[in-house]
Structure 1
Amino acid sequence: MNHPRPFSATRRCLQAALLALPLLAVTTGASAQTYSGPIRMLVGYPPGGPADTTARIVAEKLAVQLGQPVLVDNKPGAGGQIAAQALKAAPADGSVIFMSNTHTVAMVPLTMKAPGFAPATDFRPLGAVANFELALAMHPKTGAANLAELGTWFAAHRNEASIGVPAPASAPEFIAGEVARQLKADIVPVAYRGATPMVTDLLAGQIAAGVSGISDFLQYQKASRLRIVAVSRTTPLLPGVPSFAQAGLPSLDATSDFLGLYAPAGLNEATVARYNTALNQVVALPEVVAKLQANAMAPAAGTPGEQALRLAQVSRALAALVAQSGFVPQ
């Protein structure tokens, strides 16, 4: 004969079941937050460039740290704009991330009327990857050892005074414009389609000076074929070369370039923290440090919040330069 359970026993069973519900919900939620499939790392430039090379270095090691495949997906065009738009449209589940330089996430929104994305609201920083400084280099024919002497040379050689930049509506173009303004030189920056043709003309003396990434000038500086007289921030790669601010251009103090990793804005906190931890571990690896330094980059690290703050600071500095130039977004 089956006897009914005492009321107290039934109540204890019910209480145990109710207590288990929150634990079940937490466990279920945690598993839903964990993405374990392949990760696509978008890059807005073709294979072989600095952003792509760095992405492949990081992707290989990030896959090991996360225990998931990380595949570089090149979507070149429009200064990274196509890749940025693809990130905005991607699911916010951790399956798609974006390796970007400053140009795409800071410069494009300032120079395009409708870029198709707003980094502050559409993207979630995952962390910093690498820093690479911008530099002003001069042809030896100027005989200038610093910015002041370059200004003197420009004044005496108006027909030869020119500053090349690797792309229109880029940070180097606005930096070159600010340099010319501060030196009181009537110069319109000469925009090229890439750093290679610009550096070629600079080496040949077709232009007197140029602004681009340090990596574009470094080998020629070492060979005394060009002279770097100022950089966005001082670097061990160029001991003794002052920053723009130290050289008398404080308006260029926050214009250094960097690579960062981003996700769609809706990515949950747990995944952001997991990816950030893995990224910081990757950029600290000796082999990664060596490869970045070989490409004239310095490894970076930090929290997502620090990366968001730095992006905001650089964006403000570049916005001031764009406004000063009178540039009208296209």
Structure 2
Amino acid sequence: MLRRTLFTLAAAIATAASTATPAMAAGFPDGPVTMMVGFGAGGMTDTSSRIMAEELATQLGTKVLVENKPGAGGLLAIKATDALPADGQTMVSFLTEGPFTAAYQGEPLDLARWSIVGGYMPQERVLFAAASAPFSTFEEMVAYAKETPITFADGGSFWSSRVVEAYAKKHDLTIRLVPFRSGAEGSAAILGGHVTTAETGVGTSAWHAAREGGLKILATLTPGGLAQFGYPDVPSLDQRDADYVARVYYGYAVRADTPADVLEKLRAAFKAAVEAPAVQEKLKAIDLTPQWIEPAEYEEVLQSVTKDAQELRDYLKE
């Protein structure tokens, strides 16, 4: 039996969080700070980062710019940032997706080259069916896909798509993956009825369409289900004999050789931004779940992600 991968991450909540703007390291910031986003405009990484940037600008006392450099599950942005000076002026989105993708492709990231500024959000991943699909529940989808091929929009989370692929392999389902360049494209495809199923995260356009009855919510690829969003009967994959599950965590990182005092101030500003009432309100308004995740905890998860990506790759290539 393959090891079932369950990621749980407790949010570290400070007992006495200060609301004061953190004192800056001498000479930092030296001009605008850039948040390099490894995903396209309009996605959840972009949207949440722009909300964070507004508060970070206040905390850092300078402009905070958001620059999109999408591609390869966030890896293009990570590689681009790796080539920049390690001065803290640029931080890069460091979702669990990037290390997973790199490890799955046989070129794991050297995590020792990076220091986590902080994590700020977990995100449940959801499996949807088109409104016109001939099934309305996960169980009905499984029964249908054993007899008739269905299509799946492969363009959101690389990790989540591989989890769907592994489930289909284990249970003899015929699911044809249709590639898309982004989750936004995959969402548009299922909303347009061009594919039967798709996966994306809570808070996305597909999620809100489903909330309004435009799509069917079949299951969550994340342990724990969706009861907190009002869907207590929607199963999670680990409740349906899955050996793998997926969950995306959002965070930012800088080069590991960034000066210690600069990293300390970035972390303090980032934590204050995550916990700011305005940020909490804006993210929760779109069904996201902002919470401060300690760098050490986040780094532990990244180490686990690398191992699980390799195991999942080996299974799918058997």
TM-score, normalising length: structure 1? 0.77
1:61 is matched with 55
Higher RCO, 1 vs 2 (CA within 8 Å, ≥6 residues apart) = 2
Q: Please, which of 249, 253, 262 is the counterpart of residue 262 of structure 1?
A: 253
Any residues of structure 2 matched to 1:207-222 within 5 Å, and which? 207-214=195-202, 215-222=204-211
Separation of aligned partners in 2, 1:89 and 1:193: 25
Identical positions, percent? 24
2:177 pairs with 1:189:
yes
Separation of aligned partners in 2, 1:196 and 1:271: 35
Residue identity opposite 2:134 in structure 1 = T
Bigger helix share: 1
Q: Which runs of 4+ in 1 moved over 4 A?
A: 31-34
Residue identity opposite 1:239 in structure 2 = Y
CA-CA distance at 1:238 after TM superposition: 4.6
- Cα RMSD of the aligned pairs, angstroms, is 2.8
Q: Please, which of 159, 162, 165 is the counterpart of residue 177 of structure 1?
A: 165
Any residues of structure 2 matched to 1:103-252 within 5 Å, and which? 103-111=97-105, 113=107, 118-140=109-131, 141-146=133-138, 148-156=139-147, 158=148, 160-166=149-155, 170-214=158-202, 215-231=204-220, 232-233=222-223, 234-235=225-226, 236-240=228-232, 241-252=234-245
Give structure 2 stretches of 5+ with no counterpart: 1-23
CA-CA distance at 1:206 after TM superposition: 4.0
Contact kept, 8 Å, 1:37 with 1:69, in 2: the verdict is no
SS in 2 for 1:298: coil
Partner deviation per Cα, 1:270-289 (whole Å, 9 max, x = no partner): 33332222212211122211
SS in 2 for 1:311: helix
SS in 1 for 2:161: helix
Give structure 1 stretches of 5+ with no counterpart: 1-30
SS in 2 for 1:297: coil
Separation of aligned partners in 1, 2:44 and 2:211: 20
Separation of aligned partners in 1, 2:241 and 2:257: 42
Partner deviation per Cα, 1:1-27 (whole Å, 9 max, x = no partner): xxxxxxxxxxxxxxxxxxxxxxxxxxx
Size of the alignment, in residue pairs? Answer: 289
Separation of aligned partners in 2, 1:187 and 1:207: 11
Separation of aligned partners in 1, 2:189 and 2:77: 31
CA-CA distance at 1:32 after TM superposition: 7.7
2:4 is matched with none
1:13 is matched with none
2:39 is matched with 45
